[in-house]
């Protein structure tokens, strides 16, 4: 799990300083060629089945609760290996990682799904976030530490990492 979050979000050094970019393109994975390719057919991007959960096409409340709901959507998508939702919610951070040479989200995250244990994936499908541990830095920026995640498996900082979500263009996006 550490690799999935760190490679795409943490290791890129992504931060709020670039979060003001136009997310209409950042929320959509680039079509550039990937530097990392999945080896197994089961790890190919999933586009045939849309997510049952709402995505960025719908507006979310600009509240701490709205950010928590969006992050839970992201965690559940990681657990289901729903690449479309993962890349949409993590769009700004994924775009920054891609700009730094990590490849498009649809390639890098599919590979990282293989590094998450089945038990961790199952736990993420129903994970929740403890609102008492979430820090609303500003009305448009929320920090969610790893210890705020409630799941049947405990995740350490090195396995999952903390996330920053920012409200942009009517929804919450992971920016760091």
Binning pLDDT at 50, 70 and 90, where does residue 85 land? very high
Instruction: Please tell me the predicted confidence (pLDDT) of residue 57.
Output: 53
Q: Is the pTM of this model over 0.85?
A: no
Tell me how far CA of residue 137 lies from CA of 21, 134, 162, in angstroms.
19, 9, 14
Task: Tell me how far apart the alpha carbons of residues 34 and 8 are, in angstroms, rounded to a whole number.
Answer: 13
Over residues 12-25, mean pLDDT: 36
User: What is the average pLDDT value for the chain, to the nearest integer?
Assistant: 75
Would you call 76 exposed, middle or buried from its count of C-beta atoms within 10 A (0-12, 13-18, 19+)?
buried
The percent of residues in the chain predicted with pLDDT above 90, rounded, is 49
pLDDT tens by residue, 69-78: 999 999 999 9
Q: Judge whether residue 40 has pLDDT over 90.
A: no
């Amino acid at each position: 799990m550490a690799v999935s979050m760190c490679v795409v979000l943490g290791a890129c050094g992504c931060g709020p300083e670039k979060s003001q970019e136009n997310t209409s393109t950042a929320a959509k994975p680039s079509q550039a060629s990937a530097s990392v390719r999945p080896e197994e057919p089961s790890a190919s991007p999933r586009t045939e089945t849309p997510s049952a959960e709402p995505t960025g096409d719908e507006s979310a409340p600009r509240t701490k609760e709205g950010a928590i709901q969006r992050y839970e959507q992201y965690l559940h998508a990681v657990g289901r290996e729903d690449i479309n939702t993962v890349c949409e919610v993590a769009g700004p951070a994924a775009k920054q990682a891609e700009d730094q040479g990590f490849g498009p989200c649809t390639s890098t995250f599919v590979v990282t799904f293989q590094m998450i244990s089945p038990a961790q994936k199952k736990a993420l499908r129903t994970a929740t976030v403890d609102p008492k541990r979430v820090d609303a830095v500003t009305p448009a920026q929320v920090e969610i530490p790893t210890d705020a995640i409630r799941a049947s498996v405990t995740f350490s900082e090195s396995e999952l990492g903390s996330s920053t979500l920012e409200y942009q263009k009517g929804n919450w996006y992971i920016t760091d």
